[in-house]
Amino acid sequence: MSPIQSMADDEECDLVRHLAEHGLSGERIVVEITEGVLLNASPKVQERFDELKKAKIQLALDDFGTGYSSMSYLHKFDIDYIKIDKSFVQNLASNQGSRAITETIIAMAHKLNKKVIAEGIETQHQLDYLIQAGCDYGQGYFYSEALPPQEFLDFARSELS
């Protein structure tokens, strides 16, 4: 969710409205928000987040650690997931600082009862390291490149069978 989307003047969030119109729950939907959305969050932004949470939609803080990270965001806003930026993941094998930051983010998130998603996983080594460090979820080319909608559905079906 971009800052502009989060502060749209619509009385109701389009996503929440569509879910309600079709009688669907938001339990399996995760909306990614950037740190920029939280930087100068207005009451309107907080209202939008409350609306999403009421619809059981989960929130993920994207690219954590690369922007205006503030620890206060993690308890001020009801964030469900913290996404570790791919720049840290890509340097796990060669950079002790990236390993330390990654491990610290995972430990902190878990102490705050938040799940962690690592972005940009490309190798088995990165995946193994993240699993050992306690990361909950991952995404990246190791699993699949970005796919058009129909190819994604076919891929998901093959993984579930």
Confidence band of 69 (pLDDT split at 50, 70, 90): low
Sheet holding 115-118, edge to edge: 30-33, 58-64, 81-84, 115-118, 137-138
147: left (phi over 0), alpha (psi -120 to 50) or beta: beta
pLDDT digits (tens, 9 = 90+) for 72-122: 778 788 899 999 999 999 999 999 999 999 999 999 999 999 999 999 999
CATH class of 3-160: alpha beta
Q: Which two tokens stand for residue 5?
A: 């989307």
* Element of type H or E holding 122: none
pLDDT digits (tens, 9 = 90+) for 7-50: 455 556 788 888 889 888 899 899 998 887 887 677 888 888 88
Confidence band of 3 (pLDDT split at 50, 70, 90): very low
